[in-house]
Amino acid sequence: MRLAFFTNTPAHVHLYRNAVERLDDAGHDVRVFARDYGCTTALLDYHDLPYQLYGEVSHSQFSLARELPKHALRMYRAATAFDPDLVFGMGLFATVTGRLTGTPSAIVVDSEPDPIDHAISGRLARSLVSPRAFRKDLGANHYRFQGFKECAYLHPEVFEADPSVREDLGLESDERFAIVRFNGFGAHHDVGESGIPAERRRDLLRRLGERATVLVSDEGGDLDLADLPARRFDVAPARLHDALAEADLLVADTQTVVTEAALLGTPAVRSNSFVGDDDMGNFHELADAGLVRNVADPERAVETAVSLLNDPETTERWAARRDDYVADLVNLTDVIVALAERRGHAETVAGLDA
């Protein structure tokens, strides 16, 4: 069978990489169609996945809009040449390409604030798969699983952290450290949204730096650390999750990395304008499980982060909660492989409920 996977972001590479490897090993003809965005190509190269680039995009909110027509044409030509039996992806890129080439598609969705994407994909995809925590009904072809998209690569059956990453980060074996991740807010779904403001960011780094080594990942690239007790988070992209598993704390105004921290048992504080009653379902569920602190007010988020780092029982408490929580989660890679083997028909796939 010929299988196409669209990976438009680094998160998409992680979502599908284990399934691509398994399906390729099983003898299927598998091709990844990738967009050069962030560390997407670095991850594809690291995992030695068979891929073809269809375009690139910067972190500018309007870069994708400018490039979209060219991307769409290249995707169509590439997919037509490959002639897949099934297309996988996350949203419009995969479903529209599938429809234009007469190919069924199977889509993973996990973010509620994409009404146009959902409306179109819900009509075009053979099946849509989402976490049970997803707070929308996308129709008769919508199936749910217990977990999150991150379970495709962080489920205990497919991931074991490697503590040697501490050496890569220049850390001692017992050195306490926090990872702080700031969003660039350059994606299309970030228009009108905001995270931790500049001065509050500096306050956060100063206060955390009094208690631990602070490693900063700044997607916007404009934060000056010269006078702050912090340094750049500098490690190969493929080792992010090893580092996250070793960290004593994550503070972020981004999304995916917070769910990743929760699944690894790392205490996480999340603060951005998405937080609130209308927040995505996965963050409500993770907060209810005691694995994430969602704090809309940046000043209170700083206080929450400092309090967690000060509490000597935080690490043990989070690890116990995480172990209890992940025991019931589905290995999403198994689901994706089963979907591929059934050409996108989800009705009989174990772990999925209509």
Q: What is the pLDDT of residue 160?
A: 97
Element holding 101 (H helix, E strand): helix 92-101
Report pTM.
0.93
Residues in the chain: 354
- Describe the crossing of helices 298-310 and 198-209 by its angle, rounded to 10 degrees: 10
* CA–CA gap between residue 107 and residue 124 (Å, rounded): 10
Residue type, 293: R
Q: What is the pLDDT of residue 219?
A: 84
In DSSP terms, which residues pair with 178 in a beta bridge? 214, 249
Q: What is the pLDDT of residue 191?
A: 47
Q: What is the pLDDT of residue 114?
A: 78
Q: Burial, 193: exposed, middle or buried (Cβ in 10 Å; 0-12, 13-18, 19+)?
A: middle
* CA–CA gap between residue 14 and residue 302 (Å, rounded): 30
List of the chain residues with pLDDT < 50: 186, 188, 190-191
CB 20 within 8 A of CB 30: yes
Beta-carbon contacts of residue 36 (< 8 Å; ≥ 6 apart): 53, 55, 56, 57
Q: What is the pLDDT of residue 62?
A: 56
Give the number of other CB atoms < 10 A from CB of residue 105: 27
